[in-house]
Structure 1
Amino acid sequence: MTIAHHPVPAHASLFGPLHGMARLLPGVLLSAGIGAIAFGLQLIETALFSHPWIEGLVIAILLGAGLRLFWTPSSLWTPGVQFSAKTLLEVAVALLGATVSGAAVMALGPVLLLAIVGVVALAIVGGYALGRAFGLPPAMALLVACGNAICGNSAIAAVAPVIEAEGQDVAAAIGFTAVLGILVVLLVPAVGALMGFDATKVGVLAGLTVYAVPQVLAAAAPAGMLAVQTGAIVKLVRVLMLGPVCLVLGLMRSAKGEGGGEGAKGPKLHHMAPWFIIVFLILMGLRSAGAIPEVVLPPLQAGVTAMTLAAMAGLGLMVDPRAVVRAGPRVAAVAALSALLIVALALATIVLILPA
């Protein structure tokens, strides 16, 4: 049978990309709209309480998951929602590298820097072991461990594409670490007062244990400005661990030969280190070298925040909340124990390293 070949119109190649963008538009607009509502609610929190107790990122994923509870997106919305949850998130993580500078980090001194790295590493290993002991799948255990050890939602969001975690695992991990993040903010000032810590020690405790940067500032503020400044710098070092951790996870995943088989030619670069982590590290290096002007940082940070809010909303829309609830008790127990582990490691670091 002869197959007729019809000539392709010259304008078809021009409309192809436009058609693809049009398919993404409804879902992207929906995700962005939910993210904007979440940001508005965070602003209301800030106006009422002087700082947000629940981050806009958490509100966005809760709104998306809440909507999904009553409505399942059709094929009209799905492509853009998936794009928001994955591609927008990867771009946001990549651009985040431009906001991180290594200058203030070195002021902490080599001993404390190594201690922070050690706390993060032990918290990840210990948290993962707890997760597996409670019967969590490897990806879920790793998400909870990294969220507790590094920077909560941002770490979970960055690690998820590296280990190819399921959307419902990401949502559950973010949900439980969000609740714990608020509790840790309340716990830090009480523990600092109980232990008789000075401002520097309270700052280190906040920086080592609290998840989000705004929450670190809120936790350290009762001890004064020195505590706030110290907490911010220690927290920055934890955030800097995100790139190397994702790189190591990518290398480990590649070493296990996942996605390989007979005839495989070995690990590809994007499996060892996803493109967005490579860009993150490059931009961080450029920022540290002074190649990125300070004037571009505020709009860049605003753009990263906007993309991450839309990504979290998209992630929520992709998740069946019933599945999150079913995963609840074990994930909650592992998240709580992981949080207690990093608090214990932080206290040990303060007692052993900082002078009395």
Structure 2
Amino acid sequence: MNNKMSQLLPGLVLSAAVTLAAWLLELVEVGIFGRAWLESLVLAILLGSLIRTCMPVPARFEPGIHFSAKILLEVAVVLLGASVSAAAILERGLPLLGGIALSVVLAIGFSYGVGKLLRLPHRMALLIACGNSICGNSAIAAVAPVIDADGKDVAAAIAFTAVLGVVVVLLLPVLDHAFGMTTLQYGVFAGMTVYAVPQVLAAAAPVSQASLQVGTVVKLVRVLMLGPVVLLLSLFGRRGDRQGEQRRAPTLSHLVPWFIAGFLGLMALRSFDLLPHALLAPARVASGWLTSMSMAALGLGVDARSVLRAGGKVSLVVVVSLIGLGAISWSLITLLAIR
């Protein structure tokens, strides 16, 4: 245990230091401008990415960075469930849930079609389609072994979606002001378009707590679509299999990650008023701090130069697919008259 902690400590300390710097910069913004134009969550991502891009991060920091970006974030998502009531989603009922599922299917089809139109290989087109439409790197990682994707294709898809995901986090609040979205509309739009759960937190938190809660729930409904998609791909998504290979069945962790189950469990307890009220505030504070620290670690894992290495076709497919996802998401909001 001590040896494991000693391996994690350098990366944990670095992530915490970046988080503290982001928090101090937010205070400086408030002192100068009277408000924070960039919240500490976003600043943590930017600072981390700046460090990774401008200087080599020694290998001894990597275990702690990875732990912060993955485990701490997953714990933060679970704790966030204690502050989320299902009422905002249940008010809309099955139409919204069905609309989210349909939007994911349409987005996968659109993105795959764009990839094939630009003559990307079948497996690469599928990786980008699932990553763009469901949950970014997590979907790519889950789909890759099922369709026997090449390691280089996986690296290219992950590299670009990681960088573009940060760009989306920065641009969404601008779109919110440009289109005058309500807090509910923005929460649904963020949950539908942002790649990863942590990025939804970073994009929605600066707008409002209501947007954060709605966006998180919508996003997790999208993530739950990963199970059926992986299952279908394991049955029908393989083409040109190499001889002698065996199909790899999706595991339970692919279908329902533990932190999603934990989030939904706490959300259910909160919705039925079964959580002690004394625990709600500490859970919210802990979730906020862990989220900020995981944002810093997420930034420390993003080298902006990886965009140049991803390739022109991949870049174009991902960007066009994201625009298509945005159009599908706004159509859903309009059709369901979400206000």
TM-score by length of 1: 0.66
Higher mean C-alpha deviation, range 119-128 or range 282-291? 119-128
Indicate the residue corresponding to 1:151 in structure 2.
none
Answering whether residue 282 of structure 2 is matched by residue 299 of structure 1, we say: yes
Cα distance in 2 for residues equivalent to 1:159 and 1:281: 19
Indicate the residue corresponding to 1:176 in structure 2.
164
Cα distance in 2 for residues equivalent to 1:323 and 1:104: 38
1:307 alignment partner, SS class: helix
Q: Is the 8 A contact 1:116 1:208 kept in 2?
A: no
Indicate the residue corresponding to 1:144 in structure 2.
132
Answering whether residue 75 of structure 2 is matched by residue 91 of structure 1, we say: yes
Q: Which of 216, 221, 225 does residue 241 from structure 1 map onto? A: 221
1:65 alignment partner, SS class: helix
Higher mean C-alpha deviation, range 234-243 or range 25-34? 234-243
Cα distance in 2 for residues equivalent to 1:262 and 1:344: 39
Q: Is the 8 A contact 1:28 1:84 kept in 2?
A: yes
Answering whether residue 45 of structure 2 is matched by residue 61 of structure 1, we say: yes
The residue identity in structure 1 corresponding to 2:225 is V
Alignment of 1:41-52 (within 5 A): 41-45=25-29, 48=33, 50=35, 52=37
- Work out the number of aligned pairs and report it: 312
The residue identity in structure 1 corresponding to 2:328 is L
The alpha-carbon distance between structure 1 residues 50 and 71, as it changes in their structure 2 partners (threshold 3 A), is: closer
The residue identity in structure 2 corresponding to 1:325 is L
Report the CA distance between 1:35 and its aligned residue: 2.3
Report the CA distance between 1:28 and its aligned residue: 0.8
The alpha-carbon distance between structure 1 residues 93 and 126, as it changes in their structure 2 partners (threshold 3 A), is: farther
The alpha-carbon distance between structure 1 residues 276 and 206, as it changes in their structure 2 partners (threshold 3 A), is: closer
Q: Is the 8 A contact 1:251 1:271 kept in 2?
A: no
Cα distance in 2 for residues equivalent to 1:189 and 1:311: 27
Indicate the residue corresponding to 2:197 in structure 1.
none
Q: Is the 8 A contact 1:167 1:315 kept in 2?
A: no
Q: Is the 8 A contact 1:116 1:237 kept in 2?
A: no
Answering whether residue 297 of structure 2 is matched by residue 309 of structure 1, we say: no
The alpha-carbon distance between structure 1 residues 19 and 328, as it changes in their structure 2 partners (threshold 3 A), is: same
Q: Which of 242, 264, 272 does residue 255 from structure 2 map onto? A: 272
Answering whether residue 303 of structure 2 is matched by residue 323 of structure 1, we say: no
Q: Is the 8 A contact 1:173 1:331 kept in 2?
A: no
Larger radius of gyration: 1
1:59 alignment partner, SS class: helix
TM-score by length of 2: 0.69
- Structure 1 unaligned segments of length 5 or more: list them: 1-16, 147-154, 193-200, 222-227
Indicate the residue corresponding to 1:105 in structure 2.
89
The alpha-carbon distance between structure 1 residues 101 and 328, as it changes in their structure 2 partners (threshold 3 A), is: farther
The residue identity in structure 2 corresponding to 1:269 is L
The alpha-carbon distance between structure 1 residues 102 and 39, as it changes in their structure 2 partners (threshold 3 A), is: same
Deviation digits for residues 277-300 of structure 1 (CA, Å, limit 9, x no counterpart): 332332232222222234433332
Deviation digits for residues 316-356 of structure 1 (CA, Å, limit 9, x no counterpart): 4344443233227556544543343244334544554549x
1:314 alignment partner, SS class: helix
Cα distance in 2 for residues equivalent to 1:167 and 1:36: 31
Q: Is the 8 A contact 2:116 2:125 kept in 1?
A: yes
Cα distance in 2 for residues equivalent to 1:168 and 1:85: 20
Indicate the residue corresponding to 1:11 in structure 2.
none
Indicate the residue corresponding to 1:8 in structure 2.
none
The alpha-carbon distance between structure 1 residues 169 and 283, as it changes in their structure 2 partners (threshold 3 A), is: farther
Indicate the residue corresponding to 2:147 in structure 1.
none
The residue identity in structure 1 corresponding to 2:308 is V
The alpha-carbon distance between structure 1 residues 106 and 321, as it changes in their structure 2 partners (threshold 3 A), is: closer
Indicate the residue corresponding to 1:122 in structure 2.
106
Q: Is the 8 A contact 1:95 1:304 kept in 2?
A: yes
1:287 alignment partner, SS class: helix
Higher mean C-alpha deviation, range 272-281 or range 108-117? 108-117
Q: Is the 8 A contact 2:44 2:296 kept in 1?
A: yes
Answering whether residue 6 of structure 2 is matched by residue 22 of structure 1, we say: yes
Answering whether residue 16 of structure 2 is matched by residue 32 of structure 1, we say: yes
The alpha-carbon distance between structure 1 residues 49 and 333, as it changes in their structure 2 partners (threshold 3 A), is: farther
Deviation digits for residues 59-84 of structure 1 (CA, Å, limit 9, x no counterpart): 33332232223433334323222322
- Structure 2 unaligned segments of length 5 or more: list them: 145-150, 195-199, 239-243
Q: Is the 8 A contact 2:227 2:254 kept in 1?
A: no
The residue identity in structure 1 corresponding to 2:224 is P
Answering whether residue 186 of structure 2 is matched by residue 206 of structure 1, we say: yes
The residue identity in structure 2 corresponding to 1:142 is C
Report the CA distance between 1:209 and its aligned residue: 2.8
Identity %: 33
Answering whether residue 66 of structure 2 is matched by residue 82 of structure 1, we say: yes
Q: Is the 8 A contact 1:89 1:157 kept in 2?
A: no
Q: Is the 8 A contact 1:144 1:177 kept in 2?
A: no
CA RMSD of aligned residues (A): 4.3
Cα distance in 2 for residues equivalent to 1:103 and 1:286: 12
Q: Is the 8 A contact 1:128 1:145 kept in 2?
A: no
